[in-house]
Copies of this chain bind each other. A is one copy, B any other.
């Protein structure tokens, strides 16, 4: 089958690699509004051809929209206007808005709202790698709004990528994504900002950055094009979880100021419970 990937960056490009390698498709068509990204994707062999959007839709059996949330919101209604029986799926980190956006579209059934939970802190076609999705989870939302065929195509795609498929209602997805994924990014962005402000002399950061700092600050390298619209889209949930996060930091502050070691010890031991889960 022909797969058209719209947005040939880290996610779209990594999908293209493994979908071809594992014979899910032998022809990937890339569409990207960024000319350099499009050319690079073609040159490094992520896609077989580059085309414009209309041509990409026409030639596809399955369309993956792998652009940032705001671009996906603009593209999806237009793409659904143009499809006949093609399946369309997306990869956005927020799912309620997109499901609301197209819930009355006559082609809603062609669309499967999905969120493969994988990535790195890098972006663009240069960042695409094989095995990015292996063993990770993908969330498919509001599956009853999709046709059986569209659902099967999408589940086959994620099956090929060796992902574990989880079904969830879109609104619940956004709550859980804020709790588990979005707050990690905010905690890491804020950490980078803090250290950059406190350590005017970068040499100290470089010299004293152990593995701990490196892993905690890794997500702060993530792209603003991707994350700005996610935080905007998931505003209420993200604000709620930032509030809880600040509350926990205030508890640490209180414990440290009190000079009572047992308060800090209890907080750390409660935090250690995360070991049981991840």
- A36 CB-CB contact with B under 8 Å: no
What residues of chain B lie closer than 8 Å to A106, measured between beta carbons?
Answer: none
- Mostly, the A contact residues are helix
Q: How many whole Å from A162's CB to the nearest CB in chain B?
A: 15
Q: Which residues of chain A have a CB within 8 Å of any CB of chain B?
A: 117-121, 136-137, 139, 164, 166, 176-177, 179-181, 183-199, 202, 204-224, 227-229, 231-232, 235, 238-239, 241-246, 248-253, 255-257, 259, 261, 264-265, 267-278
Among B120, B166, B265, B276, point to the contact of A211 (Cβ < 8 A): B120
- B256 with A194: CB separation less than 8 A: no
Please indicate the chain B residues that have their CB under 8 angstroms from the CB of A245 in the complex.
190-191, 194, 249
Which interface residue of A119, A164, A176, A227 has the most chain B CB atoms within 10 A?
A176
A221 B256 Cβ-Cβ under 8 A: no
Query: Are B220 and A261 interface neighbours, CB within 8 A?
Result: no
Can you report 10 A-B residue pairs in the complex whose CB atoms are below 8 A from each other? Answer: A121-B212, A166-B207, A180-B199, A183-B194, A189-B268, A224-B268, A232-B261, A239-B256, A239-B257, A243-B253
Which chain B residue lies CB-closest to A180? B208
- Minimum C-beta distance from A21 to chain B (A): 21
How far, in whole Å, are A216 and B120 apart by their CA atoms in the complex?
13
Q: Which residue of B lies closest to A164 (CB)?
A: B207
Q: Residue on B with the closest CB to A217?
A: B274
Nearest 8 A/B pairs, CB to CB? A224-B268, A190-B248, A192-B274, A192-B271, A189-B271, A184-B216, A180-B208, A179-B198
The minimal Cβ–Cβ distance linking A98 to chain B, given in whole angstroms, is: 17
With A and B bound together, what is the CA distance between A267 and B242 in angstroms?
15
Asked if B278 and A205 sit within 8 Å, CB to CB, the answer is yes
Would you call B180 and A221 a contact (CB within 8 A)?
A: no
